């Protein structure tokens, strides 16, 4: 096994806190959420009164006073409180950047219990007990030693720790490590073009196709029934919490099935091919198609492409995004544009070529990718994207 260069990588592990540790974590989440909302309210009031903003460093300076007024904040690591204020500042900065670019953007909002589900230890206050077994402990300051299922070993230098609570009440630790060595896979000398679709999730330029498993469609009826039961429960009904959990578990099952499927597919592609050409789709614009909106969301093409990128980065392979314009219309043999409706699945051209529509598009993507300049390729760190987090 040959290791070359270094990268940043995030390892995600399941936590199994005790009842006392769960209560401590829930209290920490609640206090951090209250701090976030209070800081947001302060920013809004300060701007209305003085017509200027307030920085996160100014709010950092108020933390000692907050701890004096609310002694319960002394039971939370100081850097967790600072990272909560930094999180609010990042939301503010992102909002103004998008407004400056003329993009539609929502103002930072107050968080309720269902919208605040993570805390961050940015530098210290945590540690992992090194053991040979898969069971170990994550030591969190002011919380204790939490049992953790370490299904794979970590490499590199441990830098940050993010604790995430899922909608079903499960806890996870996302441990970010720097200077992680890349695992160089053997070169195959092969290249491939990929067309992403709905009926066939992946069509390759070599003629192979992978069907869309449509995990959401298989559970759609059960999910609808669970949602209807939840809608009938009033907010004062003691059974509402159980109904809400039932809906969340069904959503979680679909997410896990999709992620598992995409992990296996992307790993296989990276192992078999050195360069992968994939179309650069504008997902936001495509979601405006009301007929296919649900199918596009369930296909989650962007999630699959993100997996390709960070697996390619880790394996020292390459993924190139190309312009998707007219790849479905253009004949891969003569280059002539052939108009088609979405229902037409066979490409027929005057030159005599008659092949599957998606196969034809994959060949065009492959040819265009080989002609594209190197700047169209990109590599991203192997961190867990926000769209993958629970």
- pLDDT tens sequence across 194-204: 999 888 889 99
Task: Find the helix or strand (DSSP H, E) in which 17 lies.
Answer: none
Contacts of 234 (CB under 8 A, 6+ apart): 240
The total number of structural domains that make up the chain: 2
Collapse the DSSP code of 133 into the 3-class scheme (helix H, G, I; strand E, B; otherwise coil) and give the result: coil
pLDDT at 291: 59
* 66 and 99 co-located in one domain: yes
Same domain, 275 and 308: yes
What is the model's pLDDT at position 373?
57
191-196 and 275-279 strand pairing = parallel
- What is the reported pLDDT for 339? 83
Please give the mean pLDDT across all residues of the chain. Answer: 87
Residues 333 and 205 in one domain: yes
> Does residue 94 lie in a domain region?
yes
| Residue 72 confidence (pLDDT) | 95
Let me know whether 56 and 121 are in one domain.
yes
Residue 191 CB neighbours (<10 A): 17
Q: Are residues 173 and 101 in the same domain?
A: yes
> What is the reported pLDDT for 290?
59
Q: Does residue 159 share a domain with residue 109? A: yes
Region of 131 on the Ramachandran plot (φ > 0 left; ψ -120 to 50 alpha; else beta): beta
Indicate whether 256 belongs to any domain.
no
Assess contact for 38 and 84: CB atoms under 8 A: no
Q: Is residue 235 part of a domain?
A: no
Q: Which residue has the higher pLDDT, 239 or 389?
A: 239
Task: Give residue 80's domain range.
Answer: 1-184
- Residue with the bigger pLDDT between 329 and 246: it is 246
243-261: average pLDDT = 93
Same structural domain, 277 and 175: no
pTM recorded for the entire structure: 0.85
Is pLDDT above 90 for 31?
yes
Quick one: 173 and 31 in the same domain?
Answer: yes
Does residue 299 contact residue 370 with C-beta atoms inside 8 Å? Answer: no
d(CA 276, CA 366): 8
pLDDT value of position 2: 43
Overall average pLDDT of the 270-298 stretch: 78
- Any domain includes 74: yes
| 143 and 66 in a common domain | yes
Cα distances from 27 to residues 24, 102, 160, in angstroms, run: 5, 39, 21
Residue 228 included in any domain: no
Residues 83 and 102 in one domain: yes
Same-domain check for residues 108 and 197: no
Task: Count the Cβ atoms, other than its own, within 10 Å of residue 4.
Answer: 9
345-359: per-residue pLDDT in tens? 888 888 888 888 889
Q: Apex CA 225: angle with CA 223 and CA 231, to 5°?
A: 100
With 80 as the cut, is the pLDDT of residue 293 above it? Answer: no
Tokens standing for 374?
A: 């190197």
Residue 223 lies in a domain: no
pLDDT tens, position by position, 36-80: 999 999 999 999 999 988 889 999 999 999 999 999 999 999 999
Between CA 360 and CA 332 the distance in angstroms is 6
Q: Is position 115 within any domain?
A: yes
Do 131 and 200 have their domain in common?
no
Distance in angstroms between the alpha carbons of the first and the last residue of the chain: 33
Is 298 a member of any domain? yes
Give the residue from 184, 219, 250 where a domain finishes: 184
Tell me which residue has tokens 């909302």. 37
């Amino acid at each position: 096994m040959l290791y070359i260069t270094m990268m940043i990588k995030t390892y995600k592990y399941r936590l199994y806190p005790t009842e006392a540790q769960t209560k401590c974590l829930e209290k920490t989440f609640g206090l951090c959420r209250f701090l976030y909302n209070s800081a947001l309210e302060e920013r809004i009031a300060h701007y209305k009164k003085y017509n200027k903003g307030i920085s996160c460093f100014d709010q950092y300076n108020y933390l000692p006073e907050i701890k004096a007024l609310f002694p319960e904040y002394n039971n939370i690591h100081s850097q967790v409180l600072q990272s909560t204020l930094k999180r609010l500042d990042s939301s503010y900065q992102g909002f103004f950047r998008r407004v400056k670019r003329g993009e539609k953007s929502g103002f930072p909002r107050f968080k309720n219990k269902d919208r605040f589900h993570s805390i961050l230890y940015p530098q210290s206050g945590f540690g992992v007990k090194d053991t040979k077994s898969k069971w170990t402990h994550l030591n969190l300051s002011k919380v204790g030693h939490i049992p953790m299922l370490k299904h794979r070993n970590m490499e590199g230098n441990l830098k940050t720790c993010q604790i995430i609570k899922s909608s079903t009440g499960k806890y996870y630790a996302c441990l970010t490590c720097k200077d992680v060595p890349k695992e160089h896979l053997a070169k195959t000398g092969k290249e491939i073009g990929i067309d992403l679709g709905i009926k066939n999730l992946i069509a390759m330029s070599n003629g192979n196709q992978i069907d869309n498993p449509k995990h959401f469609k298989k559970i759609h009826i059960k999910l609808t029934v669970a949602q209807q039961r939840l809608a009938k429960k009033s907010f004062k009904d003691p059974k509402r919490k159980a109904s809400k959990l039932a809906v969340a578990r069904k959503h979680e099952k679909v997410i896990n099935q999709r992620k598992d499927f995409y992990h296996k597919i992307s790993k296989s592609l990276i192992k078999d091919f050195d360069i992968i050409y994939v179309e650069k789709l504008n997902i936001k614009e495509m979601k405006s198609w009301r007929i296919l909106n649900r199918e596009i969301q369930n296909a989650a093409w962007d999630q699959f492409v993100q997996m390709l990128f960070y697996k390619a980065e880790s394996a020292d392979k390459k993924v190139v995004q190309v312009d998707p314009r007219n790849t479905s219309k253009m004949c891969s043999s003569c280059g002539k544009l052939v108009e088609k409706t979405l229902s037409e699945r066979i490409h027929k051209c005057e030159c005599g070529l008659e092949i599957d529509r998606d196969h034809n598009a994959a060949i065009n993507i492959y040819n265009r990718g080989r002609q594209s300049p190197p700047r169209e390729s990109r590599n991203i760190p192997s961190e867990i994207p926000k769209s993958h987090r629970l």
